[in-house]
Structure 1
Amino acid sequence: MTGTSDSNVVEMIADLAPIWLPGCVVDAGQRTVEVGWGRGALQMSAVVGVGEIVERCLQLPKQLWPEQIEAWLRAVVAEGELATEEHRFGDVAERQRALLVQRGWSARTAGPVADALLPFGDHFEVVVFIKTGDELRRLTVVRRSMHGLGDPDVPSPVQLTLDEIADLVPQELDGFSVLSRDGDPLVSMAMVDRENLLPQASIGAGVLIGVPRLSTVAYCPADAGQARADALAQWVAESYRGASDQCSPDLYWLQGDLLVQVPVTLATPPSAVLPAALKPQPRRTWLRHLFGR
């Protein structure tokens, strides 16, 4: 998009923001807006960049910009109020946590303000949360800035999470292994810490892995054969069905840093469509070699 188009959105924000939120200040040159919140004598404010809403508006017809801008501004104020509340529970930086979810989950479920995300390949994404009491609250880009969590010396939400699941021990089921902890959505992050929690992923052909629930990861050797792959696919499908913390019903081939989706049929029971590299190769006898039989 052109700079002129960017400027048009910023100008509209400058015109409309003070109408919806009296007292807010838009700096068109710095592309920021200062919003305030509070009750009585306790008043707080924050300066927030408008890049996110500008980009969102440029993907829509101009007549839809005002609605998007108002929703975003009011969401920013709500984020400020939430940030104020979160501070009352202690050090926010130490309460960061991360969840591995299916790619696109954040876009499908987020509100007017974008979530704080970390990339994780083509099939998953890592969403950052703040642990407040027993609740995990999604951390947005705006609130991360308000909390100062982008500073280099702030603890990593990924490492904080991996420390919390470091004691997971796999349970052996019918030909495959399961990492699970009831009610703990952090377990899905085991795929990120594969060196410690999934060391088999870097041995030989790696592992076939499923993350049917945020609280459950299941896997078996990638070259264990069709029968075991099918058993894993069926178990993953059953675990995913009806779960309150659903993640993904699919299987993936994890080998070192390589993560490839393995299709699963919709048949009953489902079965894994293994890539050729994971199918057993019959030994060729001299007779087959000489006569092609």
Structure 2
Amino acid sequence: MTDTSDSTVVEMIAELAPIWLPGCVVDVAQRTVEVGWGRGALQMSAVVGVGEIVDRCLQLPTARWAEQIEAWLHAVVAEGELATEEHRFGDVAERQRAVLVQRGWSARTAGPVADALIPFGDHFEVVVFVGTGDQFRRLTVVRRSMLGLGDPDVPSPVQLSLAAISDLRPEQQNGISVLRRDGDPLVSMAVVDRDNLLPEASLGAGVLIGVPRLSEVLYCAADAGQEPPDTLAGMVAESYRSATDQCSPDLYWLQGDQMVQVPVTLGTPPTALVPAALKPQPRRTWLRHLFSRQSGDLGG
């Protein structure tokens, strides 16, 4: 990425934006665009940085820049209208929520404006939402800025979500521990709050874990042998297939802050390919070896 390429995209935005959105103002030096929205006498506006759309354009052929810029500009206006509506439901900052989803979910399903994301390892990501009425709406980077939710004194969406699921307690099902609350997408965040909701993850070999639904987390002791992991794999596969709030069909070995994917066969029933480090190992001490040699000598 070069400064010249950046400038070329910004100049195209400055040239085309007033055509698609009459009245908008592009500041080339500050790399911002001011857009407006509203109805009748109620008119509002916001100044938004163009860094996101510049980066997106630079990953595409030049011939596609114009369509990307147009889609982004219209999406920014739509975000402003959403932000205005969200204020009608009370304090937006307190209604933030964070949901743990499979990594790549946002990239696969997002629109022209990027979601507000919090990194979480190699296998999952945390997407921020706003509760509006009975809906959870994805919070985008643009709307977060419009709503002032990036300020230091704003409540953390992660902490708000963890507080909402702090009362979860595991149930036992077929020897597997289950954290579940039907219809609650915040349950998957138990993986983030593992110190409180999954304390077993920090003991001994940790746990094998599955998050087939946003509303369900299943786990068993990582060193429990082969049968519990196979049971866990079957329960995760069945739950994932029937879920309307699918998260991940895979198993993971969670030990402290380390998470490793555990392969699962596609058989019926599925089988967990437990890492060798978790399988019982024969304990052959030097003393046992010495005694076995002595017994051999006496027998001779």
Distance 1:292 1:236, change over 3 A: farther
Per the TM alignment, residue 13 of structure 1 is displaced from its structure 2 partner at its CA by: 0.1
Corresponding residue for 1:143?
A: 143
Corresponding residue for 1:212?
A: 212
Amino acid aligned to 2:45: S
Kindly report which structure 2 residues correspond to 1:163-242, keeping only aligned pairs within 5 A, or say none: 163-242=163-242
In structure 1, the gaps of 5 or more residues are none
* In structure 2, C-alpha distance between the alignment counterparts of 1:291 and 1:37, rounded to whole Å: 86
Distance 1:271 1:34, change over 3 A: same
Distance 1:29 1:241, change over 3 A: same
SS in 1 for 2:89: coil
Kindly report which structure 2 residues correspond to 1:51-200, keeping only aligned pairs within 5 A, or say none: 51-200=51-200
Amino acid aligned to 2:63: Q
Kindly report which structure 2 residues correspond to 1:2-21, keeping only aligned pairs within 5 A, or say none: 2-21=2-21
Q: Does 1:256 align with 2:256?
A: yes
Corresponding residue for 2:267?
A: 267
Per the TM alignment, residue 285 of structure 1 is displaced from its structure 2 partner at its CA by: 7.0
Per the TM alignment, residue 289 of structure 1 is displaced from its structure 2 partner at its CA by: 3.9
SS in 2 for 1:241: helix
Per the TM alignment, residue 21 of structure 1 is displaced from its structure 2 partner at its CA by: 0.1
Per the TM alignment, residue 269 of structure 1 is displaced from its structure 2 partner at its CA by: 0.8
* In structure 2, C-alpha distance between the alignment counterparts of 1:133 and 1:187, rounded to whole Å: 20
Once the two structures are superposed, what CA deviation does each residue of 1:34-60 show, in whole Å capped at 9, x if it has no partner? 000001100000000000000000011
* In structure 2, C-alpha distance between the alignment counterparts of 1:292 and 1:108, rounded to whole Å: 61
Distance 1:269 1:34, change over 3 A: same
Using the size of structure 1 for normalisation, the TM-score is 0.97
Corresponding residue for 2:31?
A: 31
Amino acid aligned to 1:175: G
Once the two structures are superposed, what CA deviation does each residue of 1:154-203 show, in whole Å capped at 9, x if it has no partner? 00000000000000010011111000001001000000000110010101
* In structure 2, C-alpha distance between the alignment counterparts of 1:69 and 1:9, rounded to whole Å: 9
Once the two structures are superposed, what CA deviation does each residue of 1:216-252 show, in whole Å capped at 9, x if it has no partner? 0000001001111100011010010021000001100
Per the TM alignment, residue 283 of structure 1 is displaced from its structure 2 partner at its CA by: 3.0
Taking only the aligned residue pairs, the percentage that are identical comes to 83
Using the size of structure 2 for normalisation, the TM-score is 0.95
* In structure 2, C-alpha distance between the alignment counterparts of 1:178 and 1:155, rounded to whole Å: 29
SS in 1 for 2:283: coil
Per the TM alignment, residue 267 of structure 1 is displaced from its structure 2 partner at its CA by: 1.1
SS in 2 for 1:125: strand
Per the TM alignment, residue 292 of structure 1 is displaced from its structure 2 partner at its CA by: 11
Amino acid aligned to 1:195: D
Q: CA RMSD in A?
A: 1.5
Per the TM alignment, residue 133 of structure 1 is displaced from its structure 2 partner at its CA by: 1.2
Q: Greater CA radius of gyration, 1 or 2?
A: 2
